[in-house]
Structure 1
Amino acid sequence: MPWYQAFVLGLVQGFSEFLPISSSGHLLLTRWAFGWDPPGDESVEKAFDVALHFGTFMAVVAYFRHDLKRYVREGLRLVWNRERPIDPDGRIAWLLVVATIPAALAGVVLESWIDEKLGTPAIIGVSLIVFGVLLWWADQKHGERTIDQFHLRDSLIVGAAQTLALNPGTSRSGITMTAARWIGFDRDTAARVSFLLSLPVILGAVVFKVGGLFADGIPEGLGAALVIGVVTSAISGWIAVWGTLALVRNYSFTPFVVYRIVLGVVVLIAVAAGA
Structure 2
Amino acid sequence: MLWYQIVFLAVIQGLTEFLPISSSAHLILPSQLLNWPDQGLAFDVAVHVGTLIAIVGYFRKDIAQIIFAWCVSIKDKQSTPNSRLAWWICLATLPACVFGLLFDDFISTHLRSLEVIAYTTIGFGVLLWLSDRYGTSHKTEQDLALKSVLLIGLAQALALIPGTSRSGITMTAARFLGFGRESAARFSFLLSIPLILAAGGLKSVELVSSNLAVDWGSILMGVILSAISAYLCIYLFLKWLNTIGFFPFFVYRLILGGVLLLIVYL
TM range (shorter): over 0.9
1:90-141 Cα offsets, whole Å, 9 max, x none, are 1101110110011012123322332232222211111111000000111121
Q: Which segments of 5 or more consecutive residues in structure 1 lack a partner in the other structure?
A: 40-44
Residue equivalent to 1:201: 195
Of 48, 53, 76, the match for 1:81: 76
1:161-219 Cα offsets, whole Å, 9 max, x none, are 01110111100000000000010000000110111100001001111222222222351
Tell me, in whole angstroms, the C-alpha distance in 2 between the residues paired with 1:248 and 1:75.
29
Residue type of the partner of 2:231? W
Residue type of the partner of 1:65? R
TM-score normalised to the size of structure 2? 0.95
Residue equivalent to 1:210: 204
Residue equivalent to 2:96: 103
Tell me, in whole angstroms, the C-alpha distance in 1 between the residues paired with 2:42 and 2:103.
21
Kept in 2: contact 1:28–1:119 (CA 8 A): no
TM-score normalised to the size of structure 1? 0.92
Kept in 2: contact 1:3–1:228 (CA 8 A): no
Residue type of the partner of 2:165? S
Tell me, in whole angstroms, the C-alpha distance in 1 between the residues paired with 2:131 and 2:235.
22
What is the deviation of 1:4? Answer: 2.0
Residue equivalent to 1:184: 178
Kept in 1: contact 2:136–2:176 (CA 8 A): no
Of 63, 83, 89, the match for 2:58: 63
Residue equivalent to 2:130: 137
Residue equivalent to 1:13: 13
Count the aligned residue pairs.
265
Please list, as runs of the form range in 1=range in 2, the aligned pairs for 1:220-239 lying within 5 A after superposition: 220=214, 222-239=215-232
Of 137, 141, 149, the match for 2:143: 149
Structure 1 segments, 4+ long, off by >3 Å, are none
1:74-101 Cα offsets, whole Å, 9 max, x none, are 011111222x3x1100110111011001
With over 3 angstroms needed to count, the CA separation of the structure-2 counterparts of 1:153 and 1:247, relative to structure 1, is same
Tell me, in whole angstroms, the C-alpha distance in 1 between the residues paired with 2:30 and 2:127.
24
Q: What SS does the aligned partner of 2:178 have?
A: coil
Matched, 1:93 2:83: no
